[in-house]
Structures are given as structure tokens and as C-alpha cells.
Amino acid sequence: MAITTSAKKALRKSMKRRVINVKKSKEMKNLLKEVKGLVSQKKIAEAKKLLPSVYKILDKAAKTGLIKKNAAARKKSRITKSLAKYSK
């Protein structure tokens, strides 16, 4: 366990940040799963409506360090590519 006051504060901060990160991570994963489900059901119009929110949440996750920048770019690219494949 932490002994110094600075270590105790760092522990408190990391615990608070973990709660926030877990919440944002679940939100991101649920949204991605929802869009992928809509694509697999070929409900392209509904999936396209969710696309801006997917971009927003991925960009924010990359900005805050939840995921890496290239991981966010890869996820956005793959979702857009899957939408384009079925929208023809």
C-alpha cells in the first residue's frame, strides 16, 4: 500500500481515472458493436446515422489516451469500409 502522501494521492487519482476509463471504454465498445450489428443486418441507413457519434467517441478516446491514435484511425476506417461495401 502507498506510504507517502504523494503516493496516496496518486493512488486516489488513478482509481478515479480508472472508473472514467472503464466507462468510456464500455461506451465505445457498445457503440461499435451496435454499428457492426446494424451492418450485419444490412440496416445501412441506421448505421450511417450512428457514424458521426462513432467518429466522435473514437477521436475522444484517442485524444485522452484511452486508445492509440492509429487504433482509432483503423477502427474508423474498417467501419466506413464495411458500410461502403453494403451501401452499393
Give domain status of residue 4, yes or no: no
Confidence band for 31, pLDDT divided at 50, 70 and 90: very high
| Average model confidence (pLDDT) across the chain | 94
- 4 half-sphere exposure, CB direction, 13 A CA radius: 3
Give domain status of residue 56, yes or no: yes
Note the pTM of the prediction, 2 decimals.
Answer: 0.86
Give domain status of residue 82, yes or no: yes
Give domain status of residue 13, yes or no: no
Give domain status of residue 19, yes or no: no
Q: Which residues contact 85 (CB under 8 A, 6 or more apart)?
A: none
**What is the predicted pLDDT for the residue at 6?**
96
Give domain status of residue 7, yes or no: no
